[in-house]
Amino acid sequence: MYAQVCTRPDIAFAVNMLSRFQSNAGHAHWVAGKKVLRYLKGTINHMLLYRRIDDQELKIECYTDASYKQDHDDLKSTSGYIFMLAGGAISWKASKQSLTATSTFQAEYIAIYDATSHAIWLKNFVVGLKIMDSIEKPLTIYCDNAAAVFFTKNNKRSSGSRNIDVKYFAVRENVRDKEIEVLKIGTKEQLADPFTKALPVECFKRHVKDMGIYLIQFGVLIIHVQKFFYQLLTMISYRNKYQLVSSVFFTYNKTNLLTCSLKLLPKAPFLRNRSKIGVSDGSSISQGCIRDNMFYPF
Per-residue pLDDT for 275 more than 90? no
Domains in the chain with CATH codes: 48-215 (3.30.420.10), 218-297 (no CATH)
| Top-confidence range, 18-22, 61-65, 294-298 | 61-65
CB atoms within 10 A of CB 173: 10
Query: What's the pLDDT score for residue 290?
Result: 44
Query: What's the pLDDT score for residue 64?
Result: 93
Cβ neighbours for 173, distance < 8 A, ≥ 6 positions apart: none
Q: Which residue has the higher pLDDT, 169 or 224?
A: 169
Q: Which residue has the higher pLDDT, 236 or 181?
A: 181
Query: What's the pLDDT score for residue 227?
Result: 52
Contact between residue 96 and residue 76 where contact means Cβ atoms under 8 Å apart: yes
Q: Which residue has the higher pLDDT, 20 or 226?
A: 20
Q: What's the chain's average pLDDT?
A: 73
Contact between residue 106 and residue 161 where contact means Cβ atoms under 8 Å apart: yes
Per-residue pLDDT for 219 more than 80? no
Give pLDDT tens digits for 93-136: 888 888 888 888 888 888 898 898 888 888 888 877 777 766 66
- From residue 285, alpha-carbon distances to 119, 187, 297 in Å are 47, 48, 11
- From residue 50, alpha-carbon distances to 34, 101, 119, 229 in Å are 30, 36, 20, 18
What band does 152 get if pLDDT is binned at 50, 70 and 90?
confident
Query: What's the pLDDT score for residue 197?
Result: 86
| Residue count (the chain) | 298
Q: Could you tell me the sign of the dihedral formed by the alpha carbons of 260, 264, 269, 274, in that order?
A: negative
- From residue 108, alpha-carbon distances to 113, 142, 200, 277, 297 in Å are 9, 11, 22, 52, 50
d(CA 278, CA 23) in angstroms, rounded, equals 52
HEC-encoded secondary structure of the chain? CHHHHHCCHHHHHHHHHHHCCCCCCCHHHHHHHHHHHHHHHHCCCEEECCCCCCCCCCCCEEEEEEECCCCCCCCCCEEEEEEEECCEEEEEEEEECCCCCCCHHHHHHHHHHHHHHHHHHHHHHHHHHCCCHHHHCCEEEEECCHHHHHHHHCCCCCHHHCCCCHHHHHHHHHHHCCCEEEEECCHHHCCCHHHCCCCCHHHHHHHHHHCCEEECCHHHHHHHHHHHHHHHHHHHHHHHCCEEEEEEEEEEECCEEEEEEEEEECCCCCCCCCEEEEEECCCCEEEEEEECCEEEEC
Q: Which of 109-118, 190-199, 209-218, 280-289 has the lowest mean pLDDT?
A: 280-289
Nearest to 62, CA basis, from 86, 37, 92, 82: 82
- From residue 264, alpha-carbon distances to 221, 235, 246, 275 in Å are 23, 12, 5, 10
Per-residue pLDDT for 239 more than 60? no
CB atoms within 10 A of CB 28: 9
Query: What's the pLDDT score for residue 30?
Result: 86
